[in-house]
Amino acid sequence: MSNIKLFESKKIRSVWNEEEQKWYFSVADVVEVLTDSTDVKQYVKKLRQRDEQLNSNWGTICTPLEMTAADGKKRKIQSANVEGLLRIIQSIPSPKAEPFKLWLAKVGQERLEEIENPELASQRIRQIYKAKGYSDEWIEKRIRGIAVRDELTEEWKKRGVKEKIEFAILTSEISKATFGLTPSEYKDVKNLPGKGENLRDHMNDLELIFTMLGEASTTEIARKTDVQGFPENKTAAKKGGKIAGDAREALEKETGKKVVSEENYLQLSEKKKRRLK
């Protein structure tokens, strides 16, 4: 997601924020694309003057981050993540911004519907994966994996684990114990480009199953032993991952085949690859 899909062929400068684990995009580039303004700085200044709420929250929405300028030099420029950009776009009175506003209204409507009927969220996820070329068999495992992951993170929150950084560390511990690889190392094995690429969307059936086993085991251990705080949860994560890792090794010994696969679904969809096997 180093470029925003909604902008199609338009090039928007971006940078990965390691601390937040999110992409940040050049506000100036987005404003220029949506307005054709010849003086983007002045346009943004007037935009903030017109929208008092946007202006008062500008420091929260925007972050100065280093990116490459047109002259090839690195400079700090005003940047925003997807959430921040969409807030800025709401205030842009340009015909080019209307499709984004309509899209935001549609997304908002869908979220309200999902609050009323949570089953709709699951249905929409299935539709998205089907459109991307995943088989029904794979989708069911992926959906179940999302539920297992959500259950684990909710448990972590209850037990005093801080989101983002500590979540990432514990996830890495489970992955290392399960597969012998951290998530970033796993991405390298699968040759996945970009920080924002979702590793689990490129896992095959067995990889998803062992990922679920490691996370479900960690959840169960955390509950049964009533661990509290980051250090104790880290120990539980290693134990939960080891249960999945032992099972993986037993299967590999029995079949003579490695569970960790180099395949990804960048060029060929999961459904097509399944048919070729």
C-alpha 56, offset from chain centre: 28
Residues of the chain above pLDDT 70, percent: 94
- List, for residues 118-176, the tens digit of each pLDDT value: 778 888 889 989 999 999 999 999 999 999 999 999 999 999 999 888 999 999 999 99
Looking at residue 72, its amino acid is G
pLDDT band at 18 (very low <50, low <70, confident <90, very high): low
What ranges make up the beta strands (E) of the chain?
A: 14-17, 22-26, 63-68, 74-80
**How would you class 159 by CB atoms within 10 Å of its CB: exposed for 0-12, middle for 13-18, buried for 19 or more?**
middle
Q: Output the pLDDT for position 101.
A: 81
Distance CA 56, CA 64 (A): 16
In the prediction, which pLDDT does 86 show? Answer: 87
Residue among 139, 142, 157, 175 at smallest CA distance from 222? 157
Structure confidence at residue 145 (pLDDT): 96
Q: Rounded to whole angstroms, how far apart are CA atoms 15 and 2?
A: 7
pLDDT of residue 48: 93
Per-residue model confidence (pLDDT) at position 4: 54
191 token code pair: 């040759």
Supply the pLDDT for residue 267.
83
pLDDT, residue 239, reads 98
Highest mean pLDDT among 14-28, 57-71, 255-269: 255-269
What ranges do the domains of the chain cover? Answer: 5-112, 134-276
User: Which of 10-19, 204-213, 267-276 has the largest mean confidence?
Assistant: 204-213
Interior/surface letters 107-137, b for 16+ CB within 10 angstroms, e for the rest? eeeeeeeeeeeeeeeeeeebeebeeeebbee
86-98: pLDDT as tens digits? 899 889 988 888 8
Q: How far apart are CA 97 and CA 90, in angstroms?
A: 8
Distance CA 55, CA 93 (A): 16
- Contacts of residue 273, defined as CB under 8 A and 6 or more positions apart, other chains included, come to 263, 265
Instruction: Summarize the confidence of residues 230-253 as an average pLDDT.
Output: 98
Q: For residues 101 and 80, give the distance between their C-alpha atoms in angstroms, rounded to a whole number.
A: 17
Higher pLDDT, residue 228 or 95: 228
Round the average pLDDT of the chain to a whole number and report it.
89
